[in-house]
Amino acid sequence: MSVELYVVQFLTGLANAASLFLVACGLSLIFGVTRIVNFAHGAFYMLGAYLAYSLTIRWQTPVGFWLALLVAAAIVAVLGAVIEILLLRRLYRAPELLQLLATFGLTLMAEDAVRLIWGPEDLVGPRAAGLSGAMTVLGRPMPVYDFVLILLGPAVLGLLWLLLHRSRWGLLIRAATEDRDMVGALGVNQTWLFTGVFALGVFLAAFGGGLQIPRDAVSHVMDLSIITEVFVVVVIGGLGSLTGAFLAAIIVAELNAFGILILPGISLVLTFLIMALVLVLRPFGLLGKPLAQSRTLSHRIHGAWQPLGGVGRSAALAILICAALLPLVLGEYGLGVASEVLIAVIFAASLQFLMSVAGLDSFGHAAGLGLGAYGAALSVQHFGLSMEAALLIGPLASALFAAIAGWFCVRLSSIYFAMLTLAFAQIVWSIAFQWVEVTGGDNGIVGVWPSAWASGATAYYWLTLGCTTAVVLLTRHLTFSPFGYALRALRDSPLRAAAIGISRQPVQHAAFVISAFLAGLAGVLFAFLKGSVFPDTLGIGTSVDGLIMVLLGGFGTVSGSVAGAIVYKMASIWLISNTDFPRLILGGLIVLLVLVFPLGIVGTLQQALAGRLLAGNASVRGRT
């Protein structure tokens, strides 16, 4: 390879960085002020691209092209402002996971909305009018448009810097990024500040989307692909830092450009490895700072949990007996669905343990499930082992990886912990996707069938039910064991827990490994149920499914994950097979749930029960 090639590749990387930077700095701005990790940012990027596509094919003049991009971004920004006013405004004081869930719901809705409006095919937009030619750099052609993009990045950074440092609005944004409640106490209406910042961030994302039209096809999967990259960028750069986002966008774009050239086999892994490395060395990113917690933010308050009493135990036993008798009424298909639901229960219970009991919000729980599934599939396909052996090897594979990744992760807290777990999960996903010789890449591994005794639908269902019962009992047992007390003490007050002699990292590390082991068991059962494994099992979608199940059931309740998993899994299976636009409905339901039942199913029930008890006590007191 020649030097010229490297130079051209470097310039292409810089051009790629432009869009990435625009989307990332929008996300960073929004996070800085509102403390919302806007998962929907990728959806706004996608909407910007689609709208710009529709406008640019109508206005094919040099002025028309840029006007189309700006108009498209402005329309999406208005949409963003409306969403902020109607939805997010109600969530600023909610736990950050609810915010994430709501914005993920929006992402789902956007994907189907785009398909509804523009159709399912990829769309190829026009070249930028007046800029469609190529220039020669060191004897190699290079699109003129790329040079425009290279200049655009720094220009936008400069403009934003001016806005933030030379206007009163910018001053208030910077102040609010540090301490939004103090800004409110000084007479600034935060409500409109938030709306404004959100709209600005969305504008930048949508504009970034439009910029991609002359370079790439517009598709309805571009939201998830950009959001992962953007998460990586803001984490490397430091959440809330624009210059950091700029630097990190260049680093990530160049890594991608040269990774494909030099190390094509591991190009995907490379970015996430760098991110993990940065987080370990500089936990707040290259230019980030420790986050000041919003002081009036309602912290999660966990009720005091109690082991099940006699009534609870009888009810649980009754439910278990009913579940065991299901094969009497369900056919083969029904039992398959029931097994899948049970596997979801294991997955959710393991995540619930990590989140509610240990207080560690993992965005990468898919790695636990996926490694279990791949571990099982590989031991069956490559080593010719039996299902029984795989049932042990799969979870152990997950636990081993969690032991390594967890060592890094438990060093960080809150949102950075979540981001690092996401990075590790994405590393695993990229390996499964790119290491074709072993994992089969996108084609996955097929022919993973259970042992003869468990191959019938009924037998396999009972096996799954047995595992599920064991996992739920185990997580409950751990919750009420001294280990569980230590975890809950660390979750509620790390400082006080340390003062009574509990060492945070080893205890949380142990919880991380246990949780991954259990998720791995779900993965093994899933692999044998489906007879195959695909990289999707390891994808962000799986992690988010887990989060939704936990939150839907009721965050901070021990039994919530069971209810959440059953309802969510059944609803999604039904929606996928019975509607044309399942994501639109599912996303809408998620948003509605976050707004109406923020406590989840079990949480809402508990509150209703507690309310009745309180009312009862009050009336008793009133009489005496």
The answer to the question of residue 592 lying near another protein (CB under 8 A) is no
Give the separation between CA 546 and CA 562, rounded to whole angstroms.
11
Q: Which of 120, 139, 187, 482 binds another protein (CB under 8 A)?
A: 187
CB within 8 A of 23, min separation 6: which ones? 41, 42, 45, 204, 205, 208, 209, 226, 230
Residue with tokens 């142990």: 510
Q: Which of 85, 175, 273, 337 binds another protein (CB under 8 A)?
A: 175
Q: Which of 86, 116, 151, 171 binds another protein (CB under 8 A)?
A: 171
CB of 232 to another protein, least distance (A): 25
Structure token pair of residue 265: 């086999």
Nearer to another protein, 178 or 216 (CB): 178
Nearer to another protein, 537 or 557 (CB): 557
Nearer to another protein, 299 or 313 (CB): 299
Q: What is the CA radius of gyration of the chain?
A: 25
Encoded one letter per residue, x for contact with another protein by CB under 8 A and - for no contact, window 81-120 reads: ----------------------------------------
Q: Which of 3, 58, 139, 185 binds another protein (CB under 8 A)?
A: 185
CB of 194 to another protein, least distance (A): 12
The answer to the question of residue 168 lying near another protein (CB under 8 A) is yes
Stretch of 167-175, 222-230, 523-531, 552-560 lying at the interface with another protein (CB under 8 A): 167-175
CB of 186 to another protein, least distance (A): 5
Long-range pairs of 405-412 with CB within 8 A, sequence gap ≥ 24: 405/367, 406/508, 406/509, 406/512, 406/513, 406/516, 407/509, 408/276, 408/279, 408/280, 409/360, 409/512, 410/360, 410/504, 410/505, 410/508, 410/509, 410/512, 411/280, 411/283, 411/505, 412/279, 412/283
Residue type, 264: P
Q: What share of the chain is helix, strand, coil (3-state, %, to 5)?
A: 75, 0, 20
Give the separation between CA 362 and CA 613, rounded to whole angstroms.
35
Give the separation between CA 566 and CA 576, rounded to whole angstroms.
16
- Interaction with another protein in 520-539: which residues (CB under 8 A)? none
The answer to the question of residue 205 lying near another protein (CB under 8 A) is no
Give the separation between CA 201 and CA 195, rounded to whole angstroms.
10
The answer to the question of residue 136 lying near another protein (CB under 8 A) is no
Report residue 581: phi and psi, to 5°: -125, 70
CB of 298 to another protein, least distance (A): 7
Nearer to another protein, 85 or 280 (CB): 85
The H-or-E segment that residue 398 falls in is helix 387-409
The answer to the question of residue 184 lying near another protein (CB under 8 A) is yes
CB of 296 to another protein, least distance (A): 6
Q: Which of 178, 216, 254, 492 binds another protein (CB under 8 A)?
A: 178
CB of 547 to another protein, least distance (A): 24
The answer to the question of residue 188 lying near another protein (CB under 8 A) is yes
Nearer to another protein, 140 or 302 (CB): 302
Stretch of 51-59, 166-174, 388-396, 532-540 lying at the interface with another protein (CB under 8 A): 166-174
* SS3 labels along 53-64: HHHHCCCCCHHH
The answer to the question of residue 294 lying near another protein (CB under 8 A) is no
Q: Give the sign of the dihedral formed by CA 511, CA 356, CA 39, CA 23.
A: negative
Q: Which of 140, 155, 149, 117 is nearest to 213 (CA)?
A: 149
What is the CA 117 to chain-centroid distance, rounded? Answer: 26
The answer to the question of residue 498 lying near another protein (CB under 8 A) is no
Q: Which of 37, 43, 172, 478 binds another protein (CB under 8 A)?
A: 172
The answer to the question of residue 492 lying near another protein (CB under 8 A) is no
CB of 300 to another protein, least distance (A): 10
CB of 181 to another protein, least distance (A): 7
CB of 189 to another protein, least distance (A): 5
The answer to the question of residue 189 lying near another protein (CB under 8 A) is yes
The answer to the question of residue 174 lying near another protein (CB under 8 A) is yes
Encoded one letter per residue, x for contact with another protein by CB under 8 A and - for no contact, window 296-325 reads: x-x--x------------------------
The answer to the question of residue 452 lying near another protein (CB under 8 A) is no
Nearer to another protein, 131 or 188 (CB): 188
Give the separation between CA 213 and CA 50, rounded to whole angstroms.
9
Give the separation between CA 594 and CA 576, rounded to whole angstroms.
21
Give the separation between CA 359 and CA 614, rounded to whole angstroms.
28
Structure token pair of residue 139: 């004897």
The answer to the question of residue 253 lying near another protein (CB under 8 A) is no
Measured in residues, the chain has a length of 624
Q: Which of 334, 313, 88 is nearest to 201 (CA)?
A: 88
Q: Which of 54, 190, 294, 458 binds another protein (CB under 8 A)?
A: 190
Indicate the DSSP class of residue 95. Answer: -
CB 229 within 8 Å of CB 20: yes
Nearer to another protein, 157 or 420 (CB): 157
The answer to the question of residue 617 lying near another protein (CB under 8 A) is no
Structure token pair of residue 298: 């309602």
Q: Which of 183, 232, 242, 349 binds another protein (CB under 8 A)?
A: 183
Nearer to another protein, 165 or 382 (CB): 165
Report residue 374: phi and psi, to 5°: -70, -40
Nearer to another protein, 176 or 378 (CB): 176
Give the separation between CA 171 and CA 186, rounded to whole angstroms.
13
Residues that bind another protein (CB under 8 A): 168, 171-172, 174-175, 178-179, 181-190, 296, 298, 301
